[in-house]
Structure formats: C-alpha cells, structure tokens
Structure 1
C-alpha cells in the first residue's frame, strides 16, 4: 500500500525531529565522546597492532549506534501507536459516507434557505 505524499512528508519530518533530538541527547553525547577518545587513542602514535584498543573502540561504536537505533525504534513505535489510536478513535469517513453527508448537508441548506 502506497501512502499519500503528505503522509510520507509528515513521517519524514517526524523522523528528522526525533533524529535531531536524539543527536542532542546528553547520554549519547557522552558515548560519542568516549567513542571519539578511544578512536583517537588508537591512532595517535599507538601501535596499530594493539588489537584490544581497536576492539574497545569498535565496541563503543556499536554500542552508541545500538542506542541511537533503539531510541529511533521506540519513538517510531510510540508514534505509530498514537497514530493508530487517533485514526481508530476518529476514523475518516469512506468515500460513500462522505458523499452521503454532503448530499444531506446540501439538502438541509436548500430546505432552510427557501
């Protein structure tokens, strides 16, 4: 099922907003700093054959990405549930219901305007 362009744009704007919020998250900022420090320690005059330093940096990179992905996923789930509840509590009328409502409204306006 293809979503309408306005819906795709709304989802993209929400993803951009959540991504920007996650980018400013203090805990993730701390993890990125640790990751960066570990990376620089590994390459600033340290012998490249020191596998433990590389493994520590790699673990920090994977942990940071996992935190980011987890938060994106959880926020997406929350947004999806909110959207589903909003649509279920106030469903949009089907095309037939919409046409019938318009016909009733026109008939009511015509009878009161005479």
Structure 2
C-alpha cells in the first residue's frame, strides 16, 4: 500500500530540509510513497499555474517552517491554494529545538516537530 502524494512548500533558503525529508523517506521502511511535487524552477510567470496543477495532483501540502518562511509570498500563496483546493495540510518545524513563526493560513494545531514517525503518521491520516 502506498501513501498519499504531497506537495512540499518551503522557503528556498530551507531547501536542504526538503532534500533531507525526501531522502529520509526513501531510506526508511514505511508505507509512505513519498512523491515530491515542489516547484524546482525559479519564480516565473507560469509558476502559479504550475503550482495549481501540482497541488491538485496531491492529497495535501507539507509546509517546512524555517526562520523566514512566514515572510515568503510563494509559501503564503501555496498555503492559500492548498486551502482553496480543499487539500490536507500540515507544517513541520525544520529544527527540533526551535520554534519559528507559523505562516498565515496554517494553524498551530497543524504544526508538528521534525520527527519522521510523526511525519509518516500525518501523511497516513490523509488516506
């Protein structure tokens, strides 16, 4: 059984956390089939159109929360689009020992600490 597909929303300075999450998912024995639908191309005129399509192809969005995530226009738009499409969503504080400001549109109860078992449990709750 494979798990749901997730769009990953993150601030570019936190790309390392996205890469780590994707690699960690590949190396763990779990029921999650992790598919990365984040946008890799630089911000351009087609960005929102591409994001809408990619978000629609997923069960939900994972928001990686770092020091400046709450300021990112792109992340805020991706959160709003996920909500508009009625998809699931949760956030992950990218450092276990720090709390960063939660971006608008994401509720505190939707945010977890960086723990792969917790991430898998959240993703499995989408099915």
The TM-score normalised by the length of structure 1 is: 0.25
Structure with bigger helix share is 1
Q: Which of the pair has the greater relative contact order for Cα pairs under 8 Å at 6+ separation?
A: 2
